[in-house]
Amino acid sequence: MPMHEYFMGMTQLELINRAPGFFKYQPHNVAAHSWKVTQIAQFLADVEEQNGAKINWQSVYEKALNHDYTERFIGDIKTPVKYATSTLRSMLADVEDSMTENFIKTEIPTQFQAAYTRRLGEGKDDSIEGQILSIADKIDLMYEAYGELEKFNPEPVYVSIFQSSLEALSEYQSMASVKYLATEILPDIFHETFIHKALLYDLAKSLLPDFAAKVNNAEH
């Protein structure tokens, strides 16, 4: 039945928990994550556009909304496992690509297959929209970890997730949206109380010069 399985997949995404295997006060599922990433990407694209970038808004929304749809096939694999080795990551990507290709051929009507091949493909590319997706994905991951640290969750994985998110964001620090994050949003996060705050604060300062400059000026 055309599109039936695709629509059913949205419900399945609600049932796939993120960061499986770790204690958390507030569970997060893949469907909610995709919605949050889309909201964040929308704002980041606003920032980039206001700073002179030409934004393909259709691409922003398509990439963000669909970026984890294919997790319905393999689930949300723990990040340390998923990226343990380049060989494993490549094998998982091959499995995901193969299952996605078969899904499109068998469940998506022929006249829409080209569109869904584009939408369900890897969205994190070198385009500005792909970079926005990468940034938005890490911001939501950071906030998921922050929410647990704020509740004094003792699981060390949330410190690692917050740390790896900052490290990933630092790779895009020349972009206007990350500069905005560093100067206008991160300072508010570090005004709050949460465990391992001092460690993560120092890390943020070392990775993001714009953040360091902003908080150093505020301290003097």
Domain boundaries, the chain: 4-219
Tokens of 45: 């694209």
User: Residue by residue, what is the 3-state secondary structure of the chain?
Assistant: CCCHHHHHHHHHHHCCECCCCCCCCCCCEHHHHHHHHHHHHHHHHHHHHHCCCCCCHHHHHHHHHHCCCCHHHHCCCCHHHHCCCHHHHHHHHHHHHHHHHHHHHHHCCHHHHHHHHHHCCCCCCCCHHHHHHHHHHHHHHHHHHHHHHHCCCCCCHHHHHHHHHHHHHHCCCCCHHHHHHHHHHHHHHCCCCCCCHHHHHHHHHHHCHHHHHHHHHHHC
122 pLDDT above the threshold of 90: no
83 pLDDT above the threshold of 60: no
Residue whose token pair is 């369900």: 120
Q: What is the CATH number of domain 4-219?
A: 1.10.3210.10
Residue whose token pair is 């695709």: 6
Tokens of 103: 């899904």
The predicted structure's pLDDT at residue 88: 73
Give 132-175 pLDDT, tens digit per residue: 999 999 999 999 999 999 999 999 999 999 999 999 999 999 99
The predicted structure's pLDDT at residue 87: 76
